Structure formats: C-alpha cells, structure tokens
C-alpha cells in the first residue's frame, strides 16, 4: 500500500514595506518551507498567518495595524514580525490575541513562533525547497540584500533604531546567493541595503576567497563580480544598484556600466538640494559637486539613468530653499524622481525642529515638484523615441479578440520594478514569456512610460 503522509501545516504571509522587508519575508518562507510547511495563498487555508510590518512612517504603521486587524478578523491566528516589532506593547494593546511579536530580520524567532503555533509535520521523503529558495517576486528578477542597518543618523529617519548599525554580509555569501539565483532563472539582480555604498565598512572590507581568488567586501568589487555572472543562455544578468549614497568611490562603478558589467542605473537618495535643509536633515551638503559628478558619469556612461527621492516641507524649509531644489533639478535632469511630503515619525530627531511647514504649503510644494519632474521625465523619454533598446518582459497579455495580437508589459534598463516606468509592447509573438530580454523599437512616449514593438529578427 502507498504511504499516506499527514497534511503539512499551511502558513499565509502578508508582506508590507520596502524590498528589504520583502527579502526578509522570502527568507522566512524559505526556512518554513524547508521545515515542511506549505504556503497558503489566502487566509481561509492558513493554519497561521504572518504579517511582516513596516514602521518607518506613521502612515505605514497604520497600514500595518490595519493588515494585522484584517488577518485576525479573517483567520484569528496571527504572528507579527518586521519593523513594527519593536512596538510590541502597542500591537498587543490593540490586538491582544496575536500569538507572537518579533522584530525586523529576527528570522529564528519568527520561525520558532510558527513552530509553537503550528508544529511542523516531519516528512523525509519530499524535497520542499526549490533551488534559490522561495520567492515573492517573479522568477526572472530577485532582490539581493547585502547588509542590514545603517550608520547614518539622518534627523528624519529611525532606521538605525529599528535595524541597528551597519552589518555587512560576507562577500562570498553574497556572491554565492547571487550565483544560485541566476542559475535558478533570475535575469535581473536588484542589489539592496540601507546604504549600499557603505557595504563592508564595518568589516574593514574583509576579503574572502571566491572561485580561487580573493574578493573584498566592497561595493565596487562586488559589482565587478556580479557582472561576471551568466544566465543559462550565456547572457549577463542585469545588475541594478539601489540605495547608493554618493560617496567618492561610487565614481568607480560608472566604468563598469560603460563596459556592460552593470546596468546603467543608480538609485541615489538625495532627499534635498538646499544646503540649509540638508544640514537640518544631517546629510552631506555637497550638491554643487554632485552636479559635476553627474555630468562626468554621463560622459562615461551616456545611457545612465539616475533615480532619486526628495522630501518637501521639511521643518524650516523656506520658499527659497524649495526653489533652490527646483533649480537644482533643472540642472541635474534626473531620469526618475519620487517625492514625499515630510511626515513626522515617532522617535525621529526632526520632530523637535522648529518652523514646521504648514500642511497646505507641503501639498502645494509637492504638486510643484511632481509637475517639474514629470516635465523632465517626459522630455527625456521623448528623446528615446526612434531608438532600439533592450527590455525585460514582466508580463505577457492574452491574444486580442479581433486581430490576435499579443501585447506585453516590459521595462528598460532605466526602469526598476514597481517604482519606475514601463515599456508597453505590441505584437510580441506567441512565444514571448516573462524574463525574456529582447530589443524593441521605441515608437512613442508619455510622461513616465514608453511604447514600442520588438525588432524583427
């Protein structure tokens, strides 16, 4: 007779917040899967539900609390983890029935909490974890987290109190994970951390052996090694750097982009440009030198896309400061820009600063910066019309009922998933699939997206 295995317990996951939290969720699920748990796509089928929270802004905290409440209402057996885990008393006061509360990247504690809530069923006959671990992103792109924590003390940020000071992963561990991800089908690696440029500072850039040679724990060395990886088709994966502070050694990765080892893309959190605001933010105020460096970067790698985010309405920001920022953006001509209205975060030093900006002024400035950056984006995208660009396909549509044509949603090298624009394609063919990297002719553009068709042959 065939052996009947007892059903494995099922775990549901609600993952909130930034890509770094998403990586935490993937690691938790991978460990649970290796312990024999199955994953549930809905509340009804789950024996226990994990809610990975975000606690960076008050609005994010409220979203996390709403998610916890929904999970309790729909399932009842809930474990809370993530950045809001350091506010366990608040969570328990509002939701006394939560089974456990753990902090950010406390993988062992949250897994132990799941074990207690719903013990695993041993099954030695089944391989439960696919190569590369479990993923919450599509198979063709993966986030590669290289460190935790941050050594900066920006006045508006509470990340160090949530995640601690910088702790870098070993370089051989980072490269080994990247190699496994690419061998498992990843076509695009998105390097993330709180401060990618500072990678290895805490370990004095300790070298490790990798494929018979020493490699330092340093951003430039890591980027060069990632550029040597190859997919099953023999192509270099796209390697995209996020959260890059503009330290001087960032200049060294630009030639790697010109050589094709790195995707010509930098995500740099400038936050503002006015010296007085940067000083109150406790951030470096070298905006003029940065403009010179951006010009140099573009002379080396003309297709480099630079994305950033800015805070408007920071305490003490004057109309003169804000106009300085708008003028700086005219000079910088950044490709992708996100803006945020300043929001007081409990525990942030900025809350004690004087001269708060009225909410209506914040809103008015937010609308002005978005109008400015949309105009810059539209002009830069319009300049790409008529060019042939490589794109990576994210999603393929169904054949059109009238002419049978198939469309697809893709991204260019200037577009990171979820945060930047798209390239909408027509007539991709019935063999197109997510993860394909193809050349397309750009036919049109709007403020944020491109439109085109595959190049024949």
Pairwise CA distance, residues 23 & 136, whole Å:
8
N residues, the chain: 457
Residue 122 confidence class, pLDDT cut points 50, 70, 90: low
Residue 286 confidence class, pLDDT cut points 50, 70, 90: low
| Domains contained in the chain, CATH given | 10-117 (3.40.50.12160), 141-382 (3.80.30.20), 388-454 (2.40.50.140)
Q: Quote the tokens at residue 105.
A: 């990247």
Per-residue DSSP letter, 41 = S
Pairwise CA distance, residues 406 & 426, whole Å:
6
User: Is the per-residue pLDDT at 136 higher than 80?
Assistant: no
Q: Quote the tokens at residue 246.
A: 């503009």
User: Is the per-residue pLDDT at 80 higher than 90?
Assistant: yes
Residue tagged 């919450």 (tokens): 136
State pLDDT tens for residues 247-285: 899 999 999 999 999 999 999 999 999 999 999 998 876
Q: Confirm if 335 and 414 have CB atoms less than 8 A apart.
A: yes
Residues 155, 156, 158, CA angle at the centre, nearest 5°? 95
Residue 241 confidence class, pLDDT cut points 50, 70, 90: very high
Q: Please tell me whether 49 is known to bind a ligand.
A: no
Residue 198's φ and ψ, nearest 5 degrees, are: -90, 5
Q: Quote the tokens at residue 438.
A: 């193809």
**% of the chain residues with pLDDT over 90:** 63
Q: Confirm if 187 and 132 have CB atoms less than 8 A apart.
A: no
Q: Quote the tokens at residue 197.
A: 């440029």
Q: Please tell me whether 206 is known to bind a ligand.
A: no
What pLDDT does residue 127 have?
41
Closest CA to 384 of 446, 333, 456: 446
Q: Confirm if 254 and 224 have CB atoms less than 8 A apart.
A: no
Residue 117: CB partners within 8 Å, gap ≥ 6?
47, 48, 77, 79, 99, 100
Q: Please tell me whether 184 is known to bind a ligand.
A: no
Pairwise CA distance, residues 193 & 151, whole Å:
12
Pairwise CA distance, residues 27 & 12, whole Å:
14
State pLDDT tens for residues 396-420: 998 877 777 899 999 999 999 989 9
Q: Please tell me whether 154 is known to bind a ligand.
A: yes
Pairwise CA distance, residues 375 & 358, whole Å:
26
Bridge partners (DSSP) listed for residue 409: 395, 424
Pairwise CA distance, residues 334 & 341, whole Å:
19
Residue 457 confidence class, pLDDT cut points 50, 70, 90: low
State pLDDT tens for residues 310-346: 999 999 999 999 999 999 999 999 999 999 999 887 7
User: Is the per-residue pLDDT at 69 higher than 50?
Assistant: yes
Residue 202's φ and ψ, nearest 5 degrees, are: -70, -25
Residue 176: CB partners within 8 Å, gap ≥ 6?
none
Residue 159 confidence class, pLDDT cut points 50, 70, 90: confident
What pLDDT does residue 124 have?
42
According to DSSP, the β-strands at 238-241 and 213-215 are unpaired
Residue 311's φ and ψ, nearest 5 degrees, are: -105, 125
User: Is the per-residue pLDDT at 133 higher than 50?
Assistant: yes
Residue 363's φ and ψ, nearest 5 degrees, are: -65, -45
Question: In the predicted model, what is the mean pLDDT of the chain?
Answer: 89
Q: What is the mean pLDDT of residues 53-78?
A: 90
Pairwise CA distance, residues 200 & 154, whole Å:
20
């Amino acid at each position: 007779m065939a052996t009947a295995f007892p059903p494995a317990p099922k775990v549901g996951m609600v993952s909130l917040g930034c890509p770094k939290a998403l990586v935490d969720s993937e690691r938790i699920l991978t460990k649970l899967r290796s312990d024999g748990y199955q994953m549930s796509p809905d509340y009804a089928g789950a024996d226990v539900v994990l809610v990975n929270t975000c606690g960076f802004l008050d609005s994010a905290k409220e979203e996390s609390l709403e998610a916890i409440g929904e999970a309790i209402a729909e399932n009842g057996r809930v474990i809370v983890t993530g950045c809001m885990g350091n506010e366990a008393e608040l969570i328990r006061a509002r939701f006394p029935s939560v089974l456990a509360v753990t902090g950010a990247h406390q993988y062992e504690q949250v897994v132990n909490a799941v074990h207690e809530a719903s013990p695993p069923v041993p099954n030695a006959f089944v391989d439960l974890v696919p190569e590369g671990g479990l993923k919450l992103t599509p198979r063709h792109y993966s986030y590669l987290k290289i460190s935790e924590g941050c050594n900066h003390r920006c006045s508006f940020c509470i990340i160090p109190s949530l995640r601690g000071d910088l702790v870098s992963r070993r370089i051989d561990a980072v490269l080994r994970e990247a190699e496994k991800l690419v061998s498992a089908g990843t076509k695009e690696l998105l390097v993330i951390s709180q401060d990618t440029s500072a990678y290895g500072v805490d370990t004095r850039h300790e070298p490790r052996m990798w494929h018979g040679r020493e490699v330092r724990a340093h951003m430039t060395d890591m980027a060069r090694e990632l550029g040597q990886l190859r997919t099953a088709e023999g192509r270099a994966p796209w390697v995209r750097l996020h959260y890059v502070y503009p330290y001087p050694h960032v200049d060294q990765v630009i030639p790697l982009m010109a050589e094709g080892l790195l995707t010509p893309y930098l995500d740099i959190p400038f936050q503002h440009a006015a010296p007085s605001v940067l000083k109150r933010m406790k951030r470096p105020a070298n905006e003029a030198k940065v403009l010179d460096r951006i010009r140099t970067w573009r002379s080396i790698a003309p297709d480099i896309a630079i994305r950033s985010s800015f805070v408007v309405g920071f305490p003490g920001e004057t109309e003169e400061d804000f106009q300085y920022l708008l003028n700086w953006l005219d000079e910088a001509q950044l490709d992708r820009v996100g803006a945020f209205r300043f929001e007081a975060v409990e525990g942030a030093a900025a809350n004690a600063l004087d001269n708060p900006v009225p909410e209506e002024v914040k809103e008015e400035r937010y609308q002005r910066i978005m109008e400015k950056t949309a105009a810059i984006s539209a002009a830069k995208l319009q300049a790409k019309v008529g060019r042939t660009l490589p794109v990576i396909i994210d999603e393929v549509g169904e054949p059109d009922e009238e002419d049978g044509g198939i469309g697809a949603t893709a991204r260019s090298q200037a577009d990171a998933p979820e945060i930047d624009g798209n390239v909408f394609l027509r007539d991709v063919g019935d063999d197109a699939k997510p993860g394909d990297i193809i050349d397309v002719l750009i036919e049109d553009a709007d403020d944020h997206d491109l439109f085109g068709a595959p190049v024949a042959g």
